[in-house]
């Protein structure tokens, strides 16, 4: 059985997106996360962009689900340069609190390379942890900005994206592939209109534990899907829904509210 802890659950729910124009953007997206149809978390993501620099801030309250998901809170932030077709982070920070324990990550980037990082408390290098190597810390970005998409329209080109990601703990690669188009119609959600579907392929590189159930499951999964919706006419495209099939039911994140 796969046990979802606070950090991976919050991380899976963090798939947000971004703009192609230089117009200023100030938006807030709210999501609900469910596992097997049961609400386990509420998430709010704020996106600000002045045309040259961006700030992404995520906060999550995780209700938990027995021994499967730890209850607690999570906060994550990414900031950096927004010019061009992709976001380039300068800093990434993560803070989680569960069962009375605080865990923090601080990462600094110089371009696409990691210049420094700190994890508190430090991760213990057990025999089954794949060692982080210096070469794994070049040509990378942070988790939040990696899933911020820019584009000129809602089409298959949005899904043509590959990212090398360093979380401060793990290095992994993500590849997205176009899977089709759909139309969001539910009045219970924060958006109604056309969406584009992207499938996600997860490839762990280093920093993970070979015995980790969640890592192995994600690596083997062929059912990680993101439905992207436009953030008004800003040139940003944000997830309308994220779906991961598990042996405990679908882990789903759905947009419930949007201010832009």
Q: Digits of tens for pLDDT over the chain (260 positions)?
A: 444 444 444 444 444 333 333 568 999 999 999 988 888 899 999 999 998 999 999 999 988 665 566 789 999 999 999 877 788 999 999 999 988 899 999 999 998 999 999 999 999 888 899 999 999 999 999 999 888 788 888 999 999 999 999 999 999 999 999 999 999 999 989 999 999 999 999 999 999 999 988 899 889 988 899 999 998 888 889 999 999 987 778 899 999 999 98
pLDDT in tens, 7-19: 444 444 444 333 3
Are 229 and 193 in contact by the 8 Å Cβ rule? The answer is yes
CA distance 189 to 30: 10
Q: What count of other Cβ atoms lies within 10 Å of the Cβ of residue 229? A: 24
Q: What count of other Cβ atoms lies within 10 Å of the Cβ of residue 116? A: 10
Are 29 and 16 in contact by the 8 Å Cβ rule? The answer is yes
- Total residue length of the chain: 260
- What's the pLDDT at 69? 65
Angle (CA) 129-248-204 rounded to 5° is 25
- What's the pLDDT at 165? 97
CA distance 236 to 45: 14
Token output for 199: 């499938």
Shortest CA distance to 123 belongs to which of 135, 115, 132? 132
Shortest CA distance to 4 belongs to which of 83, 69, 59? 69
> Residue 39, class by beta-carbon neighbours within 10 Å (0-12 exposed, 13-18 middle, 19+ buried)?
exposed
Handedness of CA 45, 70, 174, 36 (dihedral sign): negative
Token output for 135: 């070469």
């Amino acid at each position: 059985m796969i046990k979802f802890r606070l950090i991976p659950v919050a991380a899976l729910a963090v798939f947000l997106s971004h703009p192609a124009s230089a117009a200023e953007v100030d938006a807030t997206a709210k999501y609900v996360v469910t596992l097997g149809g049961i609400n386990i978390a509420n998430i709010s993501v704020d996106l600000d962009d002045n045309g040259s620099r961006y700030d992404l801030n995520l906060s999550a309250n995780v209700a938990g689900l027995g021994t499967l998901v730890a209850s607690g809170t999570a906060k994550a932030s990414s900031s950096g340069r927004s010019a061009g077709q992709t976001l380039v982070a300068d800093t990434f920070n993560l803070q989680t609190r569960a069962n009375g324990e605080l865990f923090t990550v601080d990462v600094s980037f110089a371009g696409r390379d990691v210049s420094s990082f700190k994890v508190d408390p430090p991760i213990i290098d057990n025999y089954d942890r794949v060692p982080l190597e210096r070469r794994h810390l070049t040509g990378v970005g942070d988790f939040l900005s990696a899933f911020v998409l820019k584009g000129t329209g809602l089409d298959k080109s949005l899904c043509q994206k590959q990212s090398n990601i360093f979380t401060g703990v793990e290095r992994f690669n993500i590849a997205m592939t176009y899977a089709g188009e759909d139309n969001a119609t539910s009045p219970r959600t924060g958006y109604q209109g056309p969406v584009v579907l992207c499938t996600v392929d997860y490839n762990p590189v280093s920093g993970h534990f070979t015995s980790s159930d969640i890592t192995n499951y994600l690596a083997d999964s062929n059912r990680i899907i993101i439905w992207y919706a436009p953030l008004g006419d800003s040139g940003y495209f944000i997830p309308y829904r994220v779906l991961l099939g598990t042996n405990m039911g679908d882990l789903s994140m759905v947009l419930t509210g949007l201010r832009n």
